[in-house]
Amino acid sequence: MTKSIIKPLHKAKLHVHKGDTVKIIAGKDRGQEGRVERTFPRTERVIVEGHNIAKRHLKARGPTQPGGIIEKAMPIHVSNVMVICTECGNPTRIAHDRVPQGSDQKVRVRRICKKCGKPIQERTRTTGE
């Protein structure tokens, strides 16, 4: 297990966003795809829904918290996943592009697929989370 490096907040930016579909390229779930459930920018890790499951053996802590084995998705380092492009469907590296966009034409960073050159669609807001 590599040790987590905690980045300062102003440098903590990931190319993987919540709601993205990613392909896992290393570890026990390599080759599989899943949706990003949560991101941890400061440690550069993401939780992929239903993947990298670890079984936690918990001791009972009183009647409200019974013990047992709980399956929990553990964070994966971002270098071990690749974003799947929403346009061409391939796992790809990401370029960043600053262009004026939206109704107010404000300059925002767009993520561009290195394979097809099209902007990757953000899904965070459309999933209603």
List Cβ neighbours of 26 (8 Å cut-off, separation of 6 or more): 79, 80
**Would you give the binding string for Zn ion spanning residues 36-75, x where CB under 5 A is met?**
----------------------------------------
Tell me which residue of 13, 14, 17, 15 sits closest to 35, measured CA to CA: 17
Q: How many residues bind Zn ion (CB under 5 A)?
A: 6
Residue 15 in the binding site for Zn ion (CB under 5 A) = no
Four-point Cα dihedral 14, 15, 16, 20, nearest 10: 140
Residue 110 in the binding site for Zn ion (CB under 5 A) = no
Work out how close the CB of 72 gets to Zn ion at its nearest, in angstroms, rounded to a whole number: 32
Residue 115 in the binding site for Zn ion (CB under 5 A) = yes
Q: Which of 76, 84, 85, 112 binds Zn ion (CB under 5 A)?
A: 85
Q: Which of 25, 33, 116, 119 binds Zn ion (CB under 5 A)?
A: 116
Residue 83 in the binding site for Zn ion (CB under 5 A) = no
First to last CA, the chain: 31
- Given a contact cutoff of 8 angstroms between Cβ atoms, the answer to whether 119 and 98 are in contact is no
- Given a contact cutoff of 8 angstroms between Cβ atoms, the answer to whether 111 and 96 are in contact is yes
Q: Which of 6, 54, 58, 88 binds Zn ion (CB under 5 A)?
A: 88
Interacting residue ranges for Zn ion, rule: CB under 5 A? 85, 87-88, 113, 115-116
